[in-house]
Amino acid sequence: MTLSDLPLQANAVVETVHDTHANDAISRRLRELGFVKGESVRLVARGPIGGEPLLVQVGFTRFALRRSEAARIQITAEQGASA
């Protein structure tokens, strides 16, 4: 499952961030921001237009991500989270 597929208010754990090509600057930046294996994430809100941007919480920090950026982040839903 990817972060862009996570239901609203659901919790998950980051597995990996996929690079779409060599030297992928966006994927590298996502890892620098804290989207690393084992980190807890939660989808807080979705924007009004086409569900973008996604408001995502990593630890105690919140980020607004495009769906295409969130789709790079592979996650595992936490126990009790609906999929």
- pLDDT (tens, 9 = 90+) of the chain, 83 residues, equals 999 999 999 999 999 999 999 999 999 999 999 999 999 999 999 999 888 999 999 989 999 999 999 999 999 998 764 44
Instruction: Tell me if the domain spanning 3-76 has CATH number 2.30.30.90.
Output: yes
What is the spatial distance between Cα 46 and Cα 37, in angstroms, rounded to a whole number?
A: 23
Cα dihedral 36/37/39/40 (nearest 10): 120
The three-state secondary structure class of 19 is: coil
User: pTM of the full predicted structure?
Assistant: 0.87
Task: Return the residue matching tokens 């690079």.
Answer: 19
